[in-house]
Structure 1
Amino acid sequence: MELIQENPDLSAYLADDEVVDHHHPLVRETAARLADGATDSYAYARLAFEFVRDTIRHSQDFGDPRVTWRASDVLEQGTGICYAKAHALTALLRAEDIPTALCYQRLTQDDGAGHCVHGLVAVRFHGAWHRQDPRGNGPGVDARFSLDGEQLAFLPDREQGELDYPTLYAAPHPAVLDALRAAPDRSSLWRTLPAELT
């Protein structure tokens, strides 16, 4: 699949904002701790991915009612759904000057009733974008950091109307951010997840 940059200026994928707040002290501290164990940018990116995948608990999987969306809050509270985990990973990577984009898939809801949008990231290495999914592993899910072919949590089933959105966003899609900000708790969020992006 060909990935399409929303913004042709690569610096947009290094930006700090209210959501991807990589200048926040907690993000900087976490990034510095991870960078301490890395020999190069690739090793750091893998460590940051594994940290978010394995340490930040996916709130749906663990029954956590809290809704997080700002990267620093995700790190502080240690929980979030796929979007929040993608925001945290994006902030950690941008903190170390690794261009990182947000990207999305449309997948079938867990109960099979309709679709929902799933969030992941893409990192820029060797002149190309490589998608990574820090959602968190579990039964039937084995996402890994890779620059040699994608190892994502989910592969869309075209027959079920699932798909990969090709656009690489510098900031969260408004539909995603609106859903996160409006939800008082995770169960409410689960009922209002965007079904598609327009």
Structure 2
Amino acid sequence: MEPIPVTTEPAAYLAADEAIDHEHPVVRETASRLRATASTPYEYARTAFTFVRDTIPHSADSGDRRVTWRASDVLGLGTGICHAKSHALAALLRAEGIPAGLCYQRLTEDDGSGAVLHGLNAILLPGRTRWARIDVRGNIPGVVDARFSLDQEQLAWPVRPALGEADSPWVHAAPAPQVLAALREAPDRTRLALPTELPAGPRTESPA
């Protein structure tokens, strides 16, 4: 599936906001440290991806009940669900001038019940004309094997249309309001109520 940006304004995918707060000192310090090991934008993006995927545990895997949603908090506290981790990666990429956005999938349990919205990223590296989706959810040995790949997607969860799962093609410049509201209002992860419907595209939603 080819990701489609919700706006043709490039600056939207480099902007800082309350969740993707890439001007925060924690984000800047982390970006600087990662940049020191990378000589090209591609290497930096891959390094940032691996850092968020592997060194920040998904809170459901680690049992951490804290709910983070700001990129700086995800990096500072070292925890977050998929949406929070995608905010962190977007911030690290934007801090180095790499356009990054947010994408969503509607996933279910194996029997088609328990729908939930999954969050991931899309990036546009210099010299490339197509966005690429990448997923920093965090791998689970034998279950999830998401990798950094710009030409062939290797996401955490391939969708299963027969179970009602679906991919959204849109690359959002800012977190979906309903996702952000759920994260901000949850007292802890066990009481987090994420939406189940995919965010609307640009025909009914004004791009950030």
Interval containing the TM-score (normalised by the shorter chain): over 0.9
SS at 2:131's partner residue? strand
Instruction: Give 1:30-109 correspondences, 5 Å limit.
Output: 30-109=30-109
**What value does the CA root-mean-square deviation take over the aligned residues?**
1.2
Distance 1:184 1:168 in 2: 29
Using the size of structure 2 for normalisation, the TM-score is 0.91
Q: Alpha-carbon deviation of 1:10?
A: 1.0
Q: Alpha-carbon deviation of 1:113?
A: 2.9
Match of 2:179 among 169, 172, 176: 176
Indicate the structure with greater strand content: 1
Distance 1:173 1:13 in 2: 14
Distance 1:71 1:56 in 2: 12
Deviations 1:105-145 (A, max 9, x none): 00004885331100000000211100000000013100000
Deviations 1:158-187 (A, max 9, x none): 000001101110000011001101100000
Q: Alpha-carbon deviation of 1:7?
A: 1.4
Using the size of structure 1 for normalisation, the TM-score is 0.96
1:196 aligns with 2:197: yes
Question: Contact conserved, 2:65 with 2:190, CA < 8 A, in 1?
Answer: yes
Gapped runs of 5+ residues in structure 2?
201-208
Q: Which runs of 4+ in 1 moved over 2 A?
A: 109-114
Distance 2:44 2:6 in 1: 25
SS at 1:57's partner residue? coil
Larger deviation, residues 93-102 vs 111-120: 111-120
Gapped runs of 5+ residues in structure 1?
none
Distance 1:62 1:92 in 2: 23
SS at 1:27's partner residue? helix
Question: Contact conserved, 2:3 with 2:122, CA < 8 A, in 1?
Answer: no
Distance 2:143 2:182 in 1: 27
Instruction: Give 1:119-134 correspondences, 5 Å limit.
Output: 119-125=119-125, 126-134=128-136
Alignment-derived partner of residue 5 in structure 1:
5
Report percent identity of matched pairs.
Answer: 62
Distance 1:93 1:2 in 2: 20
Distance 1:142 1:130 in 2: 17
Alignment-derived partner of residue 156 in structure 1:
159
